[in-house]
Amino acid sequence: MQKDPDVILAATAGFCPGVKKAIDRVLELAQSGKGPIYTLGPLIHNTQVIKMLEAKGIHAVESLSEVKDKGAVIVIRAHGITPEAETEVRSLGLEVVDSTCPLVKNVHSVIKRYAAQGFATVIVGDKGHAEVVGLMGYAGQNAFVVAGPEEAELLPPLDKVNIVAQTTQEEDVFLKTSEVIKRRVRQVVLSNTICKPTRDRQHETVDLAGKVDLMIVVGAKHSANTARLTALCERLCPRTIHIETDKELDAAMVRSARRIGITAGASTPGWMTERVLSRIQKTRRWEARSVWNTLGKALELLVDSCAYTGLSAVGLTYVCMKLQGCRPEDGLLVMAGLFVFSLHLINRIAEKGAGSSETRKIDLFETHRLPLTAAAFASGLISLSLALFMGIPIFAVVFLCWLIGALFPFRFLYGSTGLIDFPGSKDIATALGWGMVCAALPGLRQGIVFTKANYLAVVFAILLVFMRSVMLGISAVHSDLIVGRENFYKALGARRTYITLASLQVLLTGILAGLLAMGWKGHLVAALLAGNLVFMAGSALGHARRIPQGFWGEAAVDGQFLLLALLAWVSGRL
């Protein structure tokens, strides 16, 4: 979908670092086989994310009395708890994991330091909020919570005061409240503990709300920081709405607005705001009704249903056959395409069932779950049948690879074996599976397995598919999808991931350039080298713009295999 220049999504919308860290921590626990896992209260204030975590065996409890399992793991949520509550938790003898946001912990330290010096503590925040309750626990008896300047006027006489802020407080409210307290107290320490992500989000929101005539704030209704963003927007843009999901959008309001701004709270995942953005653009009918628009929607359906991925596997298999000097065989091409289509569809269905969600695919898998499941297993069965027709050795390899791939998302089956818990396991397993079926099996089928040409094709396929999987994983992380260390990018971080991708691109280019210099399959290798250079240029552009994102990005990444297949076919005609 083309971007509407009059619909602006704030760059700071989405999870803050503290929320990301807390979610990553509990996912690592779930994937390590530990459990059951309980969080003291909701890990973050977002209903949709909490449901996703529950589906992965991570449950929120309001009281420790609800924890009955002796082997349970207790997670202290991002908002933090009081010292007394932490002592009680640790006294149970269970494993305790502290996921308190580091910036909240900093406020704890500030409060403790000045309370020890005899300062009263005034917290500018929401009385009863989970974070504020935790802060009060570090302040001792001489502590007060005020929501703003009006409540500050009602404070009793105080001699020495340390003023702190709830980390998601509105800065203007904090400063105005502090001015009131300064006039009434002899000695004041001003500890502006509003976190930087909150400041950045508020500053961008103020700037954006002043430029649009409709402001949309996405996030849970019970989220304090989202409510503050909404109040901030309402002062600058009278037409401001606060929604939790895209289904709450008012189509008439969206169509009538000239310019729309979108922001989101710190506990709102990126995929939710992307869904809102997508629905707004569709509602405004910004795209022209044309043949290209129709083709775009057809391509989107192919990508979302994994059929496009299956076609890309056919393309890669064709390229690997040409590299090995095999004669193209329709049965192998169809088998590889159905094999990849089946496994990717099974994994998508399983991930949706486990709570993982993607911006475009959620509706597809919610409304067509049964037929998609039937298609996944039917295509897998046809793939296995074709393999059996080609001989027992090929069937054995295809069956084993298919079984491992189909069971991969059901991590509980592996227990604590550690078989799939190593960093980047999903990306590595995907590359090995494709490499086996798209490159090794054609060599086995035509009796040239364990030859140099076969090795070359297998390495070529594994490198390409691994890079493909990692790039799509980057998009998943940027969209705040619930993914763990099986995602290479999530496990190793941005810097190492991009260095790895660049190194593999250089390695692949070097291999093809070396083969071309030796005169080995000149036309074919030249065509593949040209295709790889084109994709390298696209990858560099994608990195600069933090893509691939959206179905066009996914189509481009998988489309490289179709491009290489086309170039390989053309080279054979020269």
Burial 358-393 (b: 16+ CB within 10 A, else e): bbbbeebbeeeeeebbebbeebbebbbebbeebeee
* 162 Ramachandran zone, left/alpha/beta (phi>0; psi -120 to 50): beta
Of 298, 241, 286, 235, the residue nearest 6 (C-alpha): 286
Distance from C-alpha of 227 to C-alpha of 231, rounded to nearest angstrom:
6
Q: How far is Cα 545 from Cα 548, in angstroms, rounded to an integer?
A: 8
User: Which of left, alpha, beta for 124 (phi over 0: left; psi -120 to 50: alpha)?
Assistant: beta
**Residue 155: half-sphere exposure toward Cβ, Cα within 13 Å:** 30
Q: What end-to-end distance do the CA atoms of the chain give, in Å?
A: 37
User: CA 137, 141, 143: angle at the middle one, nearest 5?
Assistant: 75
Check 66, 84, 95, 131 and give the catalytic one.
131
| Strand, coil or helix: 198 | helix
Among this protein's residues, is 54 annotated catalytic?
no
In the numeric block, which tokens belong to residue 451? 């030859």
Chain centre distance of CA 301: 21
On whether the CB atoms of residues 8 and 208 are closer than 8 A, the answer is yes
Q: Which residues contact 296 (CB under 8 A, 6 or more apart)?
A: 1, 287
Helix (H) or strand (E) holding 536: helix 522-544
The distance of Cα 29 from the centroid of its chain, to the nearest Å, equals 18
How far apart are the C-alpha atoms of 430 and 285, rounded to whole Å? 38
Tokens representing residue 126 in the block: 């929401």
Report d(CA 118, CA 87) in Å as an integer.
24
Which candidate, 105, 179, 177, places its Cα nearest to that of 145? 177
Instruction: Say if CB 482 and CB 459 are below 8 A apart.
Output: no
Q: Which residue has the tokens 């994709």?
A: 535
Residue appearing with tokens 């020495």: 160
Q: What distance in Å separates the CA atoms of residue 460 and residue 508, rounded to the nearest whole number? A: 7
Residue 355 near residue 482, CB atoms below 8 Å: yes
Residues contacting residue 503 through CB under 8 Å, at least 6 positions apart: none
Q: Which sign, positive or negative, has the C-alpha torsion 536, 542, 546, 548? A: negative
Paired tokens of 534: 């084109």
**Contact indicator for 271, 358 with CB cutoff of 8 Å:** yes
> Which residue is listed with tokens 């005539």?
213
Residues forming the active site: 131
